Each structure stands twice: as C-alpha cells, then as structure tokens.
A and B are shown apart, each in its own frame.
Chain A
Amino acid sequence: MSLLRVQDLTKRFGGLVAVNDVSFDVEAGEILSIIGPNGAGKSTLFKLIASFLKPTAGRVLLEGEEISGLKPHIVARKGVVRTFQETTVFKEMTALENVVVAHHLRLKAGLLGVYFASPRARADEASFRASASEILDYLGLGHVKHERARNLPHGYLRALGIAVAMAAEPRVLLLDEPFAGMNPEEKDRAVRMVRGIRDRGITVLLVEHDMPSVMRISDRIVVISFGTKIAEGTPEAVRNDPAVIEAYLGAEDETLGH
C-alpha cells in the first residue's frame, strides 16, 4: 500500500476550479515533485494535502486512513508535516529556540507538568535542546543557532524552516518551493539536503517551480496544468511527454531541463 494516496481531489473557489479531480500515490521513501506552470493549482494542492484547506471533493489517505478535513495540527501529529514558502519562521526567536519549540509533538508532560516544570517536562526540554542542536548541525546551521532568526540571511531561513518541520519527526515532509529564489550554489546545497532527509527515511513531497532542480532530485514527478494532472512518471518520462511539452509551450527548452 502506498504511504500517501491522493484520491480524486477537487477544490473549487466559487466558480474557479483550482484543483480538478487529481489522483496520485506517494510511495514510502521516495521524493515526489509536483510541478506545473504558474497558476496551475500546485499551491492549492499542497495545502489540501497538508490539510490547511478542505477539499470540495475527494480525499487524502495516509496508510489508508483519511486525513483530509482534519485540523492541521492533527495531520501533523499523524506524521504529515509541511513547510512554508520563503522565510516563514519565528523571526523573534533564535534558530535554536525555533527548533526547540517545534518539538511540541514529542512533549510527554501534560500542560500542568509543563507549567510546574515537572521532572518529565524538564527531561522533555533537555532532550528537545539536544535534538534541536543535532537537527541544526545536520542542516548546516549549527554555527548560527544562537542567532535571532530575523538576523539570518535568506538562504539560512529556508533551511531553518525545514529544521522546524524536521523537529516534528515527519513521516511525509511536504516542501513548498524549497529552491525558489536560490542561486545555483545554494540550490546544490538544498538538493543535497533534501536527499539527505530522504535518506533518513522521510518521504518527501515537494511543490516546485525550478525545473532543473526538480529533474535532478525527483524519483517521480506529477505535472499539473489548469488544476488537472496531465502527466506522472520518472523525470525522463515526464520530460518527453507530449502533454507536458504542450503545457509548457512557449517556454524555453531549458525550462524542461533539456
């Protein structure tokens, strides 16, 4: 059985059909990318999977269990964790504090225990600090962990956003345009980072504009155009798919990574 199954997902905003009857499966341990021209409905699809939007029709299943329509924090608890575009982190906290707070799901102490600093709550926080340091080191942010997030350069903030998501111990990590606005060198690093996350056993689903990076990193690709799935397959297959070429008609060849 697939880890994550997107089944006949549809989202309408008034008369506009942003996502139209999209279905695909995500296998455990793969990197699957959703691509498509501007306004194709990628972001809507992403929010539907993370349950930040409710579908008009269709559903999302995690190991056969329906997760669409649940509150975002419940979906996170089940192991589907999203990142945000650009630089969405807690800017007034340090990098370490960002990731420590994000360990919330691993909290074993109750609310009163946390308030009165019970031994369990102290043990929780100590382990969160250790784990947060480890995640930051792993993502190459170890040397800036005591910096306030708003003082960090943009490239670091993207990684910090991923570190925050990693703290929730996702089984499926949803990355929202992880390569947007990066220079080639930063993209190289980010591609290695995402592969490293997958190698830790986390399934990665990403929505992305940047075609060359997607072609390099993905095991499989789902192509969306005008809210509808027009192709699915390996990067090689998708690149040569007539429907995809059609959808990107007018775009330079290199956009598709030729």
Chain B
Amino acid sequence: MRTQPLSPPATTELPGRPRAGLGRMALAVVAALLYLVAVPLLLADRPYFLNVLTNASILSFASLGVWVTFTIGRINIAQGAFAMIGGYVTAILSTRYGLPFWLCLPFSAVVAALVGIAIGLPILRLRGVYFAMITLSLTEAVRLAFLNGGDLTKGATGIVNIPQPAGIQTPVAFYLLAACLLILGLLAVRRLATSRIGWVFRSLRQNEDLAASFGVDVARYRVVAFAFSCAMGGIAGSFFAVFHQNIYPASYSVQDSINFMLYCFLGGLDHVLGPVVGAFLLVIAFELLGELQQYQALLYGILMIVVMLFLPNGILSLELGRGDRR
C-alpha cells in the first residue's frame, strides 16, 4: 500500500515523554555556564563588549516572545510596543513611587500581558499579512500614546534618571542580570513549546478549524500565546529602562519591532534557539561593523529577502539538515 517513500521515525518529542538526549542537555548547561562565568571573566575590563552582549541578550529575550507568537502562526510586529509599555511602567513606578526594580520588573510583565490580552482578543482573529499590519501600526500607536501621555509620561522629553537596581550598577552586573534573564527566558519558552500548550499552539498554526473540532478553545490559546509574548516584551523593556536609565517615545520604533521579527526569521522558527542565534548574529555583526550602521535598515531589508529566499527555515535549519525537523 505504501506509495511514497517513508522517512525514518521523526525525532521530535511527544508530550509527556521525558526528553531524549542527555548529550544536548549537557551541552546546553556548559554553554550557559560559559556565558554566565567565562564571558564576564574574559571581558571584565572591556565594558563596551559586555554592553553589546547585554544588549544582545535582552533583544534575544524580546524576540523569544515574538517566536512564541510565530508558533501559533501569527507574524507579530508589535514587540517594540510592549517593550515600550514595560519600560514606561518601570520608569513611572520607580521614579514616581520609588518602587524597587525587582518589583517593577514583574509589574511590567503583568501590565504588558494585560494590555496584550485586551488588544489580542480582537486582533488575533486576523491572520497573515492583516495581523502583521495591525501589529505594526500598534507599535506606532503606542509610541504616540506615550508621546501624548501628559505629565505621566512627560511627552517627548521622556523619563530620565531612572534609578538603577539595587546591587546592579556595573556593566558586569548588568551583563549577568541580562544573561540570567535570557537563560530563564529560554527555559520558560522551551518549557512552553514542549508542553501540551506548545503542541496546541503548533496545531493552531497548521489548522485552527481542525483544532476546534476536537475541542480546543482556539481564541483562548491564541491569547495565551500573545500574552506570553507581550510579557516577555514587557520584561525586556523594563530591563532596558534601568539599563539606559531613561526612556523616550522614540526608544522603540517600528524598526525595532521589525528587527525582533527578523531575528526570529534569521535564526529559524522551528527551534527555540532561533531568535537567540538571529539576535546575537545581527547585533554583534553590526556593532563590529560600526561603519555600516547608517545602512542598517537597508542591509536588514536585503538580509530579510535573502533569508526568505534561500533559508526559509532559518540558519538553524542548516545544522539540522534536510528541513526534516519542521
């Protein structure tokens, strides 16, 4: 009866099954330790490079959120807006009410997630380019909202002199905080992707009607994915607010939202490491090639076209081979 060649058994894991591959786990632990210990030791007296890596870590963190919305089949170009929301929540709470950063951080995540739920409920019915377009305009709408926020957001002058977190003042300390956030974010997203929730997300990407036919509350799961993504955007924004000690309506533009999405595309949508690989490659490359920064938008545009044409499944598809993991 077999009319087509059958590939060897797929390697993806199933819900509820203990994860295979102790080797990969060990590799991940070693990589995390290197990033947490070896890198700061090596770069201790080179704060510029530490700052570049700090940036890359938190940009990866925000892109991980975008990656989650990709798993339900939505192109999310709103992450800049939610980073901005998280940033302003932290800025306002810490400068006006003197709240410590460690409280501002979770608050920022929660506020961003709640805004994400409120906005997501209506707009997540849209798909494809329509959803992408509306999220793109959302970035601009949120920027305008903060620009016209009166005394609360201080308009174009923004909020400055945001206090640094207790005990985190040096580049090394910020680097370590960012690295820890990135590792926690990776674990949280991986957990999500390998749990039943992740399986339901992927089923939505493939066919929402089929998922509804066996009882999945499609609207609810879509919003869960979007809120998770927004919370990660909020955390990233909160971090950048205290890292730069300021926030302006111009801190996040449509370009930033597009970049978050581009990191996912470049690294690959099929693996949770995709956005991290994409973000680190692009951020570091552009820091090293300082001269090119004025052409960043152009080069990103070209890169995006090239990636979509020749590597539609991202850089990580090279290593995994045959595109079989998709």
Given that A73-B217, A115-B195 are known contacts, is A104 also in contact with B9, CB under 8 Å in the complex? no
Which B residues are CB-close (under 8 A) to A148? Answer: 7, 10
Q: Quick one: which of B206, B207, B224 has the most chain A CB within 10 A?
A: B206
Residues of A contacting B29 in the complex (Cβ-Cβ under 8 angstroms): none
Contact of A73 among B5, B203, B216 (CB under 8 A): B216
**A24, CB-defined interface residue at 8 Å:** no
Of the stretches A14-22, A30-38, A122-130, the one at the interface is A122-130
Does more than half of chain B's interface fall in helix, strand or loop, or is it mixed? loop
Q: Which of B178-227 contact A (CB under 8 A)?
A: 191-192, 195-197, 199-200, 202-203, 206-207, 209-218, 224
- Are A72 and B212 in contact, with the CB atoms below 8 A? yes
Q: Which of A104-147 contact B (CB under 8 A)?
A: 104-105, 107, 111, 114-117, 121-122, 124-126, 128-129, 144, 146-147
Q: B15, A84: Cβ atoms under 8 Å?
A: no
Judged by a CB distance under 8 angstroms, whether B6 is at the interface is: yes
> Are A114 and B197 within 8 A (Cβ)?
yes
Give chain B nearest CB distance to A244 CB in angstroms: 31
The answer for the CA separation of A164 and B215 in the assembled complex, in Å, is 11
**Nearest B residue (CB) for A123:** B16
Counted as pairs of residues, one from A and one from B, with CB atoms less than 8 Å apart, the total is 128
Chain B CB within 10 A, most for which of A72, A77, A156: A72
Question: With A and B bound together, what is the CA distance between A148 and B326 in angstroms?
Answer: 10
CA distance A223 to B298 in the complex (A): 62
Contacting residue for B214 out of A94, A105, A121, CB 8 A: A105
**Pair A76/B213 contact, Cβ less than 8 Å:** yes
In the complex, the chain B residue whose C-beta lies closest to that of A78 is B215
Partner of A114, one of B3, B7, B195: B195
User: Closest approach, in angstroms, between the C-beta of B95 and any C-beta of chain A?
Assistant: 34
User: Complex formed: what's the CA distance from A55 to B4 in Å?
Assistant: 42
Distance in angstroms from B144 CB to nearest chain A CB is 34
Which one of A73, A114, A152 contacts B212 once the chains associate, using CB atoms below 8 Å?
A: A73
A interface footprint on B3-37 (CB within 8 Å = 1, 0 otherwise): 11111011010111100000000000000000000
- Whether B42 is near chain A, meaning CB under 8 Å from some CB there, is no
Contacts of A151 in B (CB 8 A): 4-7
Stretch at the interface among A3-11, A95-103, A208-216: A95-103
Known: A111-B197, A129-B14, A155-B1. A90 touches B206 (CB 8 A): yes
Pairwise interchain contact B214-A115, C-beta atoms closer than 8 A:
no
> Inside 8 A of A164's CB, which chain B residues have their CB?
210, 213-214
Question: Provided the pairs A100-B14, A114-B196 are in contact, do residues A76 and B212 lie with their beta carbons within 8 angstroms?
Answer: yes
Cα(A44)–Cα(B182), bound, Å = 50
* Shortest Cβ distance from residue A78 to the other chain B in the assembled complex, whole angstroms: 10
List chain A residues, Cβ under 8 A from B207.
88, 90
In the complex, the chain B residue whose C-beta lies closest to that of A76 is B215
Say yes or no: is B96 at the interface (Cβ < 8 Å to chain A): no
- When distances are taken between beta carbons in the complex, the residues of chain B under 8 Å from A52 are 209
Q: Does A224 contact B (CB under 8 A)?
A: no
Tell whether A91 is near chain B: CB-to-CB under 8 Å: yes
* A50, CB-defined interface residue at 8 Å: yes
- Sample 16 A-B pairs with CB under 8 A, ordered by A number: A81-B214, A90-B203, A92-B206, A93-B199, A97-B199, A100-B15, A100-B199, A116-B191, A121-B195, A125-B17, A126-B16, A129-B15, A151-B4, A151-B5, A152-B6, A167-B214
Interface residues of B (CB under 8 A from A): 1-7, 9-10, 12, 14-17, 191-192, 195-197, 199-200, 202-203, 206-207, 209-218, 224, 326
- If A105-B215, A129-B14, A146-B9 are given as contacts, then 13 extra A-B residue pairs at C-beta distance below 8 Å, sorted by A number, are A71-B217, A76-B214, A88-B210, A93-B199, A94-B10, A100-B199, A102-B214, A105-B214, A128-B15, A146-B10, A147-B6, A147-B10, A152-B4
